[in-house]
Structures are given as C-alpha cells and as structure tokens.
Chains A and B, each alone.
Chain A
Amino acid sequence: MGISGIDFVHGCSAIGAGLALIAGIGPGVGQGIAAGYGASAVGRNPGARSDITSTMLLGQAVAETTGLYGLVVAIILMFVKPFD
C-alpha cells in the first residue's frame, strides 16, 4: 500500500504545523521575564502599580505576537493547504 503524493504533502503539512508551534516557547519566556520585572517593580514602588501593570501588559501583548505568527502559519498549513 503506497502513499500517494498528495497524502505525503498533507502529512508533511501537519508535521510542519506542529513544528511551527515551537514558536510558542519564545513568547512564554519573554512574558515570564516581563511579569517578573513587573512584580519586582511593584514591590519597589507600590504607588505606581497601575502604570506598571498597563506598561507590562502592553509589552507582553507585543511580545506575544511572534508566537501568534507561529499559530497563523500552523493554521494556514492545516486548513488553507497552500501546497495542494
């Protein structure tokens, strides 16, 4: 029972989608570092809590973008099937 060419392409697309989600590691580390520094900043200056929180969330949301690009690539590989 041989594998036809198109099945091989679909399987490789699924593997590629899985590999694309390795991109989630970077934002995880980055957001953790940002949250850690945010916590220490609040500890040093509790009065500036709201400013620190909004700055931290903004930076985290920007850092999250690279991981979401991985998600978009994976979804395009899985559902749009550009290599058919």
Chain B
Amino acid sequence: MGILLAGDISEQFMIKGVLKMPFLFLGQEVWITDSILSMILISIILIIFAIICNKIIKKAKEIPTGIQNVVELVVEMIDNMVKGTLGDNAYRFRNYIGTIFLFILVANLSGLLGLRAPTADYGVTLPLGIFTFIIIQFQGFKNSGINNFLDLFKPTPILFPINIIGEVTTPITLSLRLFANLLSGVIIMGLWYGMIPVVFRFGIPAALHAYCDLFSGCIQAYVFSMLTMVYVSQKL
C-alpha cells in the first residue's frame, strides 16, 4: 500500500489519500484512498449485477432474451475456459475463477470511466495472489498429503531452497504482473493528460485507452485466471 502513496504530490498517477482514519495501525497512518473507493464502487456494481442476474435466471425462459443472453454468454465463456484447463475438476473451481475473472476485468476496465483502476494498487493485487497461493497449497495437501511437502526435496535435497523460492514467488509474480501492467497504463495515461496542451486531450487518448485499458486489461484478467488454473492443475 505504501508504494506510490504520497499525500502532497499531486501527479495524476499517484494514489491519492481521500480520508485519513483517526487511528494508527502498527504505527502507520491509515488512509482511505481513491483506489479503495473505486474498488468499493466496483464491488457494489458487481453485487447489483449478480442480484439482477439471479432474479432473471429464476424466471429463465427456453429462448433467452435480453439480459439472459448476456448472462448465459458470460457463464458459458467462463465454463469453457475452466473446463479447457482443469477438465473433470472444473466444477469445483469455476466459482472462484469466475469471481476473480469478473472482478479483475471490471476493475481493469474501470479506468475507462475515469476511476483509478484498483488493480494498479499493489495492496489490491497481492491479496488476490495470496488467495491463489492458499488454494494451490490447499489442493496440494488435500490431494497428495505430506508428499506435497516432500516434493520440495526432489530430485535432490540440495535443491530445497530453490524449490521453496519457486513456491513462494508464485503469488508475488502473479500479483506483480497484474499490478505493473495496469500501473504502466495508468502512468502513460497520466503523463499524456498531464503534459500536453488542452486541445490534444480530445480524441487522441482514445487510442491509448483502447490499448492500455481495453486490450491490456482484458488480456491481464484472462492471464491471471488462466495462470491460477494452470498452477492449480499442477497440484491435482
């Protein structure tokens, strides 16, 4: 959270503190930042969407119309994505994969609406990586028991430190990839909006938004959920 959080620097791409909490946490100041606000907004939007979808699916028709089409499209797409990687175990993971995929997708695309993309905050992406890490290790212990730990000593015990590093860096690489991709987009957009004369702010940034927010955001949401599935499938 501390990264790029500066109270008095007013550059476009910094995380800005909005509200200072009246207490200290482990001796550090606690701030409500704009990325937290946009994350709350995105969560509310997703929850409202889920409630509407639930109402509509309960009255589902044989021939789908309107928003039922959209819901079926999204669910089928996520189902196909999960089944392609995890095969028969897909039904156990598609809820989690669907949740993180939709959250990251909407969070990445929120830059188009003028919000600061919450995934460009390391305090948001690291917990996502840690969730994945917990699921990977839980599946490892569930499916192979103590062998999950003993595998770290293979092929020779000398490689134990390297194997440990290989396991522990999984959440860090996952979260840094998402964070740095979105952060580079936010920085490019911030520099463009901050340095040029006003006339260039119309029209031209659309191309940059199309790459930095739309293309990069969709690819990274796909990559994050795909890599989560690949790591989980190695432990099955």
Contact = CB atoms under 8 A, between A and B. Distances in A.
A75 interface: yes
A61 interface: yes
B181 A64 contact: yes
Interface in B169-183: 173, 176-177, 179-181, 183
B4 interface: yes
Using C-beta atoms within 8 Å of the partner chain, give the interface range for chain B: 10 to 19
What DSSP secondary structure best describes chain B's contact surface? helix
24 contacts: A54-B222, A57-B219, A57-B222, A58-B223, A58-B227, A61-B177, A61-B219, A62-B227, A64-B177, A64-B181, A65-B176, A65-B177, A68-B176, A69-B176, A71-B183, A72-B176, A75-B3, A75-B4, A75-B183, A79-B3, A79-B4, A80-B2, A80-B3, A80-B4
Given A61-B220, A61-B223, A68 B6 contact: no
B226 interface: yes
Contacts of B6: 79
Using C-beta atoms within 8 Å of the partner chain, give the interface range for chain A: 10 to 19
Contacts of A61: 177, 219-220, 223
Contacts of B183: 71, 75
Interface of A: 54, 57-58, 61-62, 64-65, 68-69, 71-72, 75-76, 79-80
Nearest to B174: A65
Counting chain A CB atoms within 10 Å of each CB, the highest count among B176, B180, B226 belongs to B180
